């Protein structure tokens, strides 16, 4: 869901998510280019950077508690996080633009299996140009961008997507 639609007052010239994703990939060198440098701190205080995640595939989900598509994909993301944790997959769910209290309140009602990051505790949304949710970015264990996927497509699609990072 385009974040500009959240307020129902999209600014003139707001680009569709597909255009934004294409622009993001071009900005970071395209698929199979080294992922841009980033940092993230989870709600639990864990800190991550490209360097600390070297050798691990990483799935980044940009999401929001108010987004119905994000909520419908939550079981798929959590299943992938749980099922592939033993194979080194790190899943970072980056909530875009909501307060710490709003996210914690949501998580009290609907816990997640993945690591939760607030936009204020990372530069990931800026680095990857995330303007729509849900949006997924996959970084391979080699530190290269393996692909992006926009929209909620369910567990089978998400498992196929992470196959690009060598996880089956």
pLDDT in tens, 22-32: 444 444 445 56
Q: What is the dihedral of CA 50, 53, 57, 59, to 10 degrees?
A: -70
pLDDT at residue 167, rounded to an integer: 85
Domain boundaries, the chain: 16-165
DSSP label at residue 145 = E
Q: Which tens digits make up the pLDDT trace of 75-130?
A: 999 999 999 999 999 999 999 999 999 999 999 999 999 999 999 999 999 999 99
Crossing angle between the packed helical segments 68-84 and 155-162, to the nearest 10 degrees:
50
pLDDT at residue 17, rounded to an integer: 42
Task: Give the predicted TM-score (pTM) of the model.
Answer: 0.82
Could you tell me which CATH class the domain 16-165 is placed in?
A: alpha beta
Which pair of tokens denotes residue 46? 């864990």
């Amino acid at each position: 869901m385009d974040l500009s639609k959240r307020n129902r007052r999209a600014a003139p010239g707001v680009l569709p998510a597909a255009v934004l994703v294409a622009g993001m990939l071009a900005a970071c060198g395209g698929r199979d280019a080294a992922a841009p440098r980033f940092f993230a701190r989870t709600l639990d205080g864990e800190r991550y950077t490209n360097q600390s995640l070297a050798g691990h595939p990483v799935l980044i989900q940009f999401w929001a508690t108010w987004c119905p598509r994000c909520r419908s994909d939550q079981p798929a993301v959590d299943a992938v996080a749980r099922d592939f944790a033993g194979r080194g997959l790190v899943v970072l769910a980056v909530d875009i633009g909501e307060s710490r209290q709003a996210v914690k309140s949501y998580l009290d009602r609907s816990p997640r299996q993945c690591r939760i990051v607030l936009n204020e505790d990372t530069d990931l949304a800026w680095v990857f140009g995330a303007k729509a949710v849900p949006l997924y970015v996959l970084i391979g264990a080699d530190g290269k961008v393996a692909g992006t996927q926009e929209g909620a497509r369910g567990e089978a699609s998400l498992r196929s997507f992470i196959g690009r990072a060598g996880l089956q």
